[in-house]
Structure 1
Amino acid sequence: MAYGNLSRASLGAGAALNGAIPFPADNPWNTDISGADVDPASDRLIASIGADKGLYRDFGSGLWEGAPIGIPYQVVSGQQARLAIEYQAYGDESDPGPFPIPLDAPVEGAPGQNGDRHVLVIDRDNQRLYELGRAFARGDRWAADVGAAFHLDNNHVRPTAKPGWTSADAAGLPIFPGLVRYDEASQGAGGIRHALRFTAARTRRAFVHPATHYASSNTDANLPPMGMRVRLKTAYAIPASFSPEAQAILAALKTYGMFLADNGSDWFLSGAPDARWNNDRLRAELASVKGRDLEVVKMVGLVTQV
């Protein structure tokens, strides 16, 4: 393992990181929270998302409505040319370009389709992660609603950000570190050594570290805030019959948990597309894990106003 040093990563779209893990070992994304206290409101918060709803893999192999299933990414070298970014919506909460994002970098969703259109690029030599939201390649530059640059080699992950700022993710978090990737999941239990990312349909006008932004006007305390961390209960026995990929995901949820990062479908786990995913098997295995098998890690420092 190499925490906070991506230099060993391969190059290209969907490239393997070869054991490299974004951010230092003591970063919130990488810390073991299996023994942390349970939040007093855990039962209510889980119920608001769905105690009887199962986990769902929001990634896979093949195409769905003409697009790869999941959020793609690309690894580039430090020699990658930097292009200007024209912001269309949240320029005042974005990091200024230029960013080393190739014009042919993979974009989430089908060509020409609206939606989140995330673009994620890792500069492995300079230890930086660049993320755009609703991005379109236009001429010799990118147009995007929002963009953020993250430092992968230290815990001051986005030095320019202020409390209340968004990113390409609604919670103000980086997207890439929380993706389920085949190169890690295929190793089985223990292969994923970081927290994951999930969505919920209804969220609160609040956030908790490491999130920096909320995306709701609802102040109901029974709804989850952005940045809320959920883990798989210790008592849940991961079936030995499950695929190595499902075992890896569930083991990671026990050890590192998953952060609420965006508004979306309940209990949807984010991941990167890969031709090697077994969609049907993984969908069935994860669906058997219900909200009642999860619990909220105790939250400290809830922010409701910025």
Structure 2
Amino acid sequence: MSSRLTSAAALAVTACLALVAAQPREVQAAAPPGTSCSAFPADNVWNTDISTLPVNSHSAAWLASTGATGGTLLHPDFGGPPYGMPFNVVDSTHPTASFNFLYWQESDPTVPTQQPQGPYPYGSDLAVEGPTDSHLLTINKDTCALYEVAWTSADAAGLPIFPGLVRLDEVQAGSINHAIRFTVQQSDRTHLWPARHDAGAANNPNLPPMGARFRLRSSFDISSFNAQTQVVLTAMKHYGLIAADNGSNWFFQGTMDSGWNSEPYATMVAQLKTIPASAFEAVDESSLMVDQSSGQALQPSRCTGMAAQATPGAPQPAGTAIQVTATASGCAKPRYEVWLHSPNGAWSLVQPYSANPAFTWNTAGKAAGSYRFSVWARDASSSSSYDAFSAFQYSLAVAPCSGMSVTVTPTSTATRGTTVTIAGSATGCPSPQYELWYLPPGGTWALARGYASGGTFLWTTAGSPAGSYRFSVWARDAASGGSSGSPPYTYDSFSAFQYVLT
């Protein structure tokens, strides 16, 4: 390629595209190694999450025409040299050249007639993809300009190549925040935004057009794959694949890198070859388009602020109904999720995402102590774990039972065999529990029933000896360890009485 690629060469098409200096934004594509340049802004269509977009009405037909329903599997079209697309990083001092392009009308910079266009980084030191396309991808790290030239066609869809490649550094970092380019054997003679060209085999709407976007279904279980494979599959769920060229069905492209041949990446490549194309679906991303001639994409609405509070204010005794209310700002359709951390415990989800901004916390039986709430918010269109959150502490205080009374039926005395009802009633505590002790004639104190809710006891006296009995009904709140006594014999309040069997 380098010996033929001269200033007089008849190259097919070229593009000079502006990358941007990487910014600390959540969905910004990672900067290529050796640069501080991101592959396009975060709101570019390549870098836009499409996991919540509707399914395209042609999805089933496009899957069938690409062999997805016939058992076709994904194929990672990259690896160690010579497989995959190499890319180069240069600075502004690197030698350049201008070229005569066959498709000069579609090359940069714009010219009125066919004439040398450029300048472009050029030299025998630059790595070029193997024949026959011979793509030459170069990034100027000083200007963040991306240059793409090729011997035949840079990209049939008229899309940039580099932003759609799977890169080793991204997999190593644990996330790919952009779509991935792939090929189909036959395509329709139309194209969908963001594609600019078509290279169809027929006028057939059952064939995917250039620019068609697919995503791995959210229901597809990726948990059994290694971590590196999951990085790629997660990207396919959130950013998907874009039909960018004609070639073998479901071949997706990545960089040429010897690192792909080592573990755990060799296993990743092997596992990716087991993914059925039938696990994908085409999406309709037309709602993202800002302008047909721009790669900018409308972004999902995001909640930019969040406030949450609890009433009544803390501290409150266990048993009090606590209302948590949240208000999100900056988003059209906020959804709320509530998490709770208990004292010396762990976080638990107490209310999953819903449009309901309120959560009622039933504190009956809860232990006293400091709890922490975290209320998350995201827009209905957002696929993030959360857009914004508000966290606060809330304390539950012990409210010991302050009074205790007992009603006995029949009162005072009864004949043997009578069922005696003992009803205890505690006051001052939201969740009272009761324990019953008794002292039979000539005996010792014994536990009739341990602490439990419900203060009514039935004493079946059949077989009990006649004589004078003594009863003691103890009460304590469910959140109280007992304010009197010594463990395990503790109580907040009690009531004692005599009873005679005849």
Bin of the TM-score, shorter chain as denominator length: 0.7 to 0.9
1:208-253 alpha-carbon deviations (Å, 9 max, x no partner): 111100012411100000011111100011134x233311111110
Structure 1 segments of 4 or more deviating over 4 A?
17-20
The CA deviation at 1:28 is 0.1
User: Do structure 1's residue 275 and structure 2's residue 288 form an aligned pair?
Assistant: no
Label 1:20 to 1:92 Cα distance change in 2 as closer, same or farther (>3 A). Answer: closer
The structure whose RCO (Cα within 8 Å, separation 6+) is larger is 1
More displaced stretch, 274-283 vs 221-230: 274-283
1:147-192 alpha-carbon deviations (Å, 9 max, x no partner): xxxxxxxxxxxxxxxxxxxxx111000000000010001233xx11
| Percentage of pairs with the same residue | 42
- Among 214, 221, 226, which residue is 1:230 paired with? 214
Label 1:30 to 1:209 Cα distance change in 2 as closer, same or farther (>3 A). Answer: same
Partner of 2:99: 85
* Amino acid in the other structure paired with 2:202: N
* Amino acid in the other structure paired with 2:77: D
More displaced stretch, 119-128 vs 77-86: 77-86
* Amino acid in the other structure paired with 1:120: L
- Among 107, 124, 139, which residue is 1:94 paired with? 107
Q: Does the Cα contact within 8 Å between 2:37 and 2:144 map onto a contact in 1?
A: no
Aligned residue runs from structure 1 range 147-296, under 5 A: 168-188=154-174, 191-240=175-224, 242-278=225-261, 280-296=266-282
Q: Aligned equivalents of 2:210 and 2:236: distance in 1?
A: 17
The CA deviation at 1:284 is 2.7
Q: Does the Cα contact within 8 Å between 1:206 and 1:214 map onto a contact in 2?
A: yes
- Among 5, 14, 21, which residue is 2:38 paired with? 21
Partner of 1:140: none
The CA deviation at 1:83 is 1.1
- Among 128, 139, 149, which residue is 1:107 paired with? 128
Q: Does the Cα contact within 8 Å between 2:53 and 2:285 map onto a contact in 1?
A: no
Partner of 1:129: 146
The CA deviation at 1:98 is 1.3
Give the total of aligned pairs. 250
Label 1:19 to 1:73 Cα distance change in 2 as closer, same or farther (>3 A). Answer: same
* Amino acid in the other structure paired with 2:47: N
SS of the equivalent of 2:118 reads: coil
Q: Does the Cα contact within 8 Å between 1:57 and 1:282 map onto a contact in 2?
A: no
Bigger radius of gyration: 2
Label 1:17 to 1:54 Cα distance change in 2 as closer, same or farther (>3 A). Answer: farther
Label 1:269 to 1:184 Cα distance change in 2 as closer, same or farther (>3 A). Answer: same
The CA deviation at 1:202 is 0.7
Output the TM-score relative to the length of structure 2: 0.47
- Greater strand proportion: 2
Partner of 1:32: 49
* Amino acid in the other structure paired with 1:238: I
SS of the equivalent of 1:277 reads: helix
Label 1:17 to 1:33 Cα distance change in 2 as closer, same or farther (>3 A). Answer: farther
Q: Aligned equivalents of 1:55 and 1:239: distance in 2?
A: 18
The CA deviation at 1:290 is 0.9
Q: Does the Cα contact within 8 Å between 1:101 and 1:121 map onto a contact in 2?
A: no
Q: Aligned equivalents of 1:258 and 1:216: distance in 2?
A: 18
Q: Does the Cα contact within 8 Å between 1:71 and 1:272 map onto a contact in 2?
A: yes
Q: Aligned equivalents of 1:289 and 1:20: distance in 2?
A: 32
The CA deviation at 1:92 is 2.7
